[in-house]
A and B are shown apart, each in its own frame.
Chain A
């Protein structure tokens, strides 16, 4: 004799064994299963037939587990990755504005210095371009970055970029073209300003890669995942 409740309990056990977590999403799936069974029975199917149809329609446990795993596990890690990216970009912006703006503005607006208009424009660009790149790269890098669907690989690329970002800062800070006597030629000074400004821009770009990859993957994966699950 078919026992519907026992069959549902067995289905729950199979879902749990496959790794579908309780209460969410297992409870939600069970509610769906029960609604479908009720609907099938109203259409004239026996409890056993209705259960069979509903279980088939809801899908296989391992496939469901695979899909849910893509969402639940990474969310906390995603927050950490985003936080790390925000810190990198915030530090980069702060340093760009704090260190580079006085240098650039001094050249642009200082009347005592004999500098050409072209040099002044260049100096202003030294300030504006890195800040613009920093902001735009944070906001839109996910559109340029590839969608890496392999999560460990995506995370690894992000971590490598964070490490690269720190190494880059260390490298540039200790290799800026300073003169031992403290005197700078104009070209040296401009190179100094450029490297100092670009240093933080590179930091922002590299620091934002981890977050950008996550964003790219999450934005483009919804439809692809459903497709993969049906193939």
Chain B
């Protein structure tokens, strides 16, 4: 299981990155994160929505209500221009952290 601090810190970059592939809705976002992390990144489902709403208020994402193919009403979220910029920034920072960690790990095995 991933530590909750890391789960929390990664919420925004993960949502932004998922939405960069195309619009999505809350349940699908949770499911995809769950699947991609083999269930190790676990969010409290309901807590995703305050995060999404806050990102929307900050102008990173936008939303629209639409009906799914099964006739279910859903709120779809998609990325805005500021969201793309924020995502690029997140990627840069996470890559940096990953690079440092990978470098240090490599040194341990030399």
- Specify which chain B residues have a CB less than 8 angstroms from the CB of A229 in the assembled complex: 44, 47, 50
A217 to chain B: closest CB distance in Å?
11
Q: Which of A35-62 contact B (CB under 8 A)?
A: 35-36, 39, 57-59
Number of interface residues of B (CB under 8 A): 28
Q: What is the interface of chain A mostly: helix, strand, loop, or mixed?
A: helix
> Is A230 a contact partner of B7 (Cβ separation < 8 A)?
yes
CB closest chain-A residue, reference B4: A230
Q: A32-B26, A36-B45, A71-B57 are in contact. Are A223 and B50 (CB under 8 A)?
A: no
Which of A2-10, A23-31, A102-110, A171-179 lies on the face that meets chain B? A23-31
A168 to chain B: closest CB distance in Å?
31
Q: Which of A69-126 contact B (CB under 8 A)?
A: 70-72, 75
CB closest chain-A residue, reference B12: A222
Q: Is B81 an interface residue (CB 8 A)?
A: no
A71 to chain B: closest CB distance in Å?
5
Q: Give Cα A34 to B45, complex, Å.
A: 13
List chain B positions with a Cβ less than 8 A from chain A. Answer: 4-5, 7-9, 11-12, 26-27, 30-31, 43-47, 49-51, 53-55, 57-58, 72-75
List chain A positions with a Cβ less than 8 A from chain B. Answer: 25, 27-29, 31-32, 34-36, 39, 57-59, 63-64, 67-68, 70-72, 75, 218-219, 221-227, 229-231
CB closest chain-B residue, reference A74: B57
Q: What is the interface of chain B mostly: helix, strand, loop, or mixed?
A: helix
- Specify which chain A residues have a CB less than 8 angstroms from the CB of B26 in the assembled complex: 28, 31-32
> Is B58 a contact partner of A225 (Cβ separation < 8 A)?
no
- Specify which chain B residues have a CB less than 8 angstroms from the CB of A34 in the assembled complex: 72
Q: A64-B47, A230-B7 are in contact. Are A221 and B54 (CB under 8 A)?
A: yes
Q: With a 10 A CB-CB cut-off, give which of A28, A229, A231 has the most chain B CB atoms.
A: A28
Q: Sorted from nearest, which 3 A-B pairs have the closest CB atoms?
A: A227-B8, A59-B46, A67-B50
> Is B46 a contact partner of A32 (Cβ separation < 8 A)?
yes
Contact with B53, one of A35, A36, A68 (Cβ below 8 angstroms) = A68
Contact with A68, one of B27, B50, B55 (Cβ below 8 angstroms) = B50
B106 to chain A: closest CB distance in Å?
29
> Is B8 a contact partner of A226 (Cβ separation < 8 A)?
yes
CB closest chain-B residue, reference A78: B57
> Is A67 a contact partner of B47 (Cβ separation < 8 A)?
yes
Q: With a 10 A CB-CB cut-off, give which of B5, B43, B53 has the most chain A CB atoms.
A: B53
Q: Give Cα A64 to B4, complex, Å.
A: 18
Q: Give Cα A68 to B54, complex, Å.
A: 9
Q: A68-B53, A230-B47 are in contact. Are A31 and B8 (CB under 8 A)?
A: no
B24 to chain A: closest CB distance in Å?
13
CB closest chain-A residue, reference B75: A28
B17 to chain A: closest CB distance in Å?
15
26 contacts between A and B (CB under 8 A): A29-B46, A29-B49, A31-B26, A31-B74, A31-B75, A32-B27, A32-B46, A36-B27, A57-B45, A57-B46, A59-B44, A63-B44, A63-B47, A64-B49, A68-B50, A218-B58, A222-B11, A223-B12, A224-B8, A226-B43, A227-B4, A227-B7, A229-B50, A230-B4, A230-B8, A230-B43
